[in-house]
Structure 1
Amino acid sequence: MEENIKKMITKRQFRHTAALDPRCKAALLILIGCVSYFLNGEICSLVLVAAFALFIAVGNGAKWAAKMLVFYIVIAWLNALLRYVSIPVLSVIMSVFGVTILKLVPIAMMGIWILRTTHMDDLMAALQRMRLPQAVTIPLVVMFRYIPTLRIEYRMIRNTMDIRGISDTAWKQITHPLSTIEYILIPLLMRCLKVTDELAASGTTRGLELEERRYALNPVRFSWKEYMVTALGIAFLAGLLFLDYTSIGEIIIWRV
């Protein structure tokens, strides 16, 4: 009976790529960030986003991957429209802004997926086994835990505004910035201060500052799966960089 309970507790909630070691995910995120900014060809950039969207879809992120892929295609097509707009200064600014978003899409897609599929206990144990100092691991873990909490707080503020009959739309945020500050930003800042104290108390209660070796219910180890995924990721990204400097990287696919 005790053995069955232990198996139920230690059973992973994530599957396939989402169950990889946090160090493997972090390595892929860093590699994607570096390669994304060096790619210039439209085909290579699209292949990068599509390939890692498939990677994410295999690990509890099919909806998120589909949304980001569609978002990338829409932004790329709108950015192609700017080639036919000749407004001094404004056209250049919008073009640079569009290219920057396209470069950030694969990084944001992978980063948010890691946030959703990584337990903080596993991340803390993995960082400690990398022999990183506490001054590095503690801020990283708090940051990873703080971002989802901030999103929850924002939803609660939105729900409170709906109950009181105060609408919050993107157009209203642009046309009435002072109201946005009053109804959203100020309550959010106050909640952030309170959440910071709560996270600090939670970390102290869990012994976040202890130097002893940490253990996690889920097995945190760099097995042959992590080595294989990392090697395949490096080979794939290196191949994309090579193709980007060939004639394939000069092909234009976003035509209007």
Structure 2
Amino acid sequence: MDETQIKQIIERQPLHGTALLDPRCKILLLVCIGFVSYFLAGEVVSLALMLVYGLFIALGNGGKWAAKMIITYIVVAYLNALLRYVQVPVLSVIMSVFGVTVLKLIPIVMMGLWILQTTYMDDLMVALQRMRLPQAVTIPLVVMFRYIPTLRIEYRQIRSTMDIRGISDTVWKRVCHPLATIEYILIPLLMRCLKVTDELAASGTTRGLELECKRYALRPIRFAWPEIVVSLLGILFLVGLLFIDQTQIGKIILWRV
């Protein structure tokens, strides 16, 4: 394959915008979001975090995903506000803690799954190798990046098998029939998890995942000026949210029922 063919392959890639950023830049933003999300207490700054990084994701092949997660965040926030009217002593505390935890996790999940969808494994391995990380760190990260999308495919196959056999799978049935959910979904998924682990390990060995030689990718991988600017702006924005959270703006209540 000559240089012209390689260039054509790269130009045909479906990624654009922020999805083309270096994997190290994406991982840095994910770590910073995970750190800041758990320290934000105000509703305004938490919503600003979701909206700004939702826009960031929308600019890189993630418009539908960002919209879905922002709507989920607003719905969970309103449901969490309803818990203020629940007067059951122990249950209300447990549900409130669970609701707040989910709100803190939604920005992390939004960013993390977007990174999984927009990062090629070759790019990730080259980026991690240039960070001079040991293979004890690189290999588990790469396997994890491949493991999660594979589990989603396995779950869809289980759902398809249930449809073929006339077994419906709805949220209402999962809640009303937890034992059936365990029998039809969780146990087959658990068995597939064990097999997928062996398959990914064999696939990684076949592709030379354990080799320590210098790796290359079709797309040029470098932490250039776009990555530096995006990283600095992202970190400054998160630091600004932490500062605003300590002011009167952070005390504004948005979710009223």
2:178 paired residue number: 177
List per-residue Cα deviations over 1:193-233 (Å, max 9, x = no partner): 22222211111111100001111111111000000000001
Give 4+ residue runs of structure 1 displaced > 3 Å after superposition. Answer: 1-4
Matched residue type, 1:143 = M
1:121 maps to a residue whose letter is D
**Equivalent position of 1:205 in the other structure:** 206
Question: Cα deviations across residues 36-61 of structure 1 (Å, max 9, x unaligned)?
Answer: 11111111111010000000000000
Match of 1:6 in 2: 6
1:75-114 alignment runs, 5 A limit: 75-114=76-115
Do the aligned residues in 1 keep the contact of 2:73 with 2:103 (CA within 8 Å)? yes
Separation (CA, whole Å) in 1 of partners of 2:173 and 2:207 = 42
Q: Which amino acid aligns with 2:9?
A: I
Query: Where does residue 197 of structure 2 map in the other structure?
Result: 196
Q: Structure 1 residues 182 and 82 mapped into 2: Cα distance closer, same or farther (>3 Å)? A: closer
Any gaps of 5 or more consecutive residues in structure 2?
none
* Residue type of the alignment partner of 1:5: Q
TM-aligned CA deviation for residue 3 of structure 1: 4.2
TM-score, normalization by structure 1? 0.96
User: 2:146 matched to 1:145?
Assistant: yes
CA displacement, residues 82-106 of structure 1 (integer Å, 9 cap, x when unaligned): 1222111111111111111111111
* Distance in 1, Cα, partners of 2:140 & 2:100: 31
Q: Which residue of 1 aligns with 2:19?
A: 18
**One-letter identity of the residue aligned with 2:10:** T
Provide the aligned length of Structure 1 versus Structure 2.
256
Tell me the CA shift for residue 172 of structure 1.
2.4
5+ unaligned residues in a row in structure 1: which ranges? none
Secondary structure at the aligned position of 1:40 is classed as: coil
One-letter amino acid of the counterpart of residue 67, structure 1: K
1:213-228 equivalent positions in 2, closer than 5 A? 213-228=214-229
Q: Which moved more, 1:240-249 or 1:79-88?
A: 79-88
Q: Which residue matches 1:167?
A: 168
Partner amino acid, structure 2, of 1:199: L
SS in 1 for 2:88: coil
Q: CA RMSD of the aligned region, Å?
A: 1.4
Report the Cα distance in structure 2 between the residues aligned to 1:48 and 1:166, rounded to whole angstroms: 40
What's the counterpart of residue 37 of structure 2? 36
TM-score, normalising length: structure 2: 0.96
Q: Measure the CA separation in 2 of the matches of 1:102 and 1:158.
A: 28
Q: Structure 1 residues 85, 177: closer, same or farther in 2, change over 3 A?
A: closer
Aligned residue in 1 for 2:254: 253
Retained in 1: the 8 A contact 2:6–2:218?
Answer: no
Partner of 2:123: 122
Which range is displaced more, 8-17 or 160-169? 8-17
